[in-house]
Amino acid sequence: MRSLAIALLFLPAAMWIGSVQAQTLEWKLKTGQSIDVQTVNEMVTSMLLPDGAKEEMPMKQMVDVQWKIKASDDVGFDVEQTVKRVRTSMKSPILNVEYDSDQGDPADPVGKQIAKGTKSVLGVPISVKIGRLGNLIELKLPPNLVEQKANPSSPFSAESLKASFQQQIEFPKSNFSVGDTWEQTLKANLNGMQTRSVLKYRFDGNVDVDGRKLAKIHVDAVTELVQSPPGIEVELQDTGSDGDILFDAELGCVFQSIQRQRLDMNLNAGGRKVQQAIQGTTTTTYRLAN
């Protein structure tokens, strides 16, 4: 009986601990709110050329975006997204590009191509409706972007913009306990190279960041090649991509997302073979502007 009494004594504490670990996660953005979103993509591409020479090309891109919440209901919220500023830096033995959309067009030809591609989206409002679980409901693009294709000097296209919204974290449900997992599959197409990424999410509980309680979600990602681009044979191996997401449950919005990517590729274009390794980190922060 004494042991039973002790067990009953600890039972309420165990129930309380379990309830603390449970967390409700959903997007709660409301009409009139404005969110500043900044994405910083830092990448190093290492290449082993057919003659044995090695080259590295570091690249950094910063994109400043503003979200204006135009409407909100029980289903989701309507966002007007506007790209405010784009900064791009690329360096290699044969290439040195510095571009800032606030500073006008650069002088070099590659920089001019980047500027031309950026201008198609710079300051152009894009309308999108996102569900409370983060699912993309509707995307409305201006006519000049509907048919635009992505390329290295102009990464903004209808498909890439749609993918950027689909990459916002999507929840399969609202309530989570520590250790809960779920998956999401994303497809991409860049100049005919089609890939499929499987993202495996895991809710790791809450963490304190500068006095704020944020939900931490770990992501393991595996990217595989679906189809090589025309004229090039590609072998692709994901050597360990992962990331972490901090979600502000009170605001109902991502606080910060960090994605780490490691890819090895073997390229064969008409008998010219190149080994390529890509290591990159993409950090996106969301801040309530008003």
pLDDT tens-place string over residues 130-168: 999 999 999 888 877 766 655 554 555 666 666 676 667
State phi, psi for 15 to the nearest 5 degrees. Answer: -65, -40
What is the structure's pLDDT at 287? 96
- Better-scored residue on pLDDT, 216 or 51: 216
When the candidates are 2.30.230, 3.90.1750, 3.40.50, 2.30.30, the CATH number that belongs to 25-288 is: 2.30.230
What is the structure's pLDDT at 1? 38
CB 162 within 8 A of CB 187: no
pLDDT mean over 197-210: 94
Q: Is it the case that residue 285 has pLDDT exceeding 50?
A: yes
Q: Is it the case that residue 226 has pLDDT exceeding 80?
A: yes
The answer for 32, left when phi > 0, alpha when psi is -120 to 50, beta otherwise, is left
Distances (CA, A) of 281 to 61, 87, 89: 11, 16, 15
What is the structure's pLDDT at 168? 73
pLDDT band at 233 (very low <50, low <70, confident <90, very high): very high
pLDDT mean over 14-21: 41
What is the structure's pLDDT at 147? 66
- Better-scored residue on pLDDT, 281 or 195: 281
Q: Is it the case that residue 172 has pLDDT exceeding 50?
A: yes
For the chain, the structural domain boundaries read: 25-288
DSSP annotation of 216: E
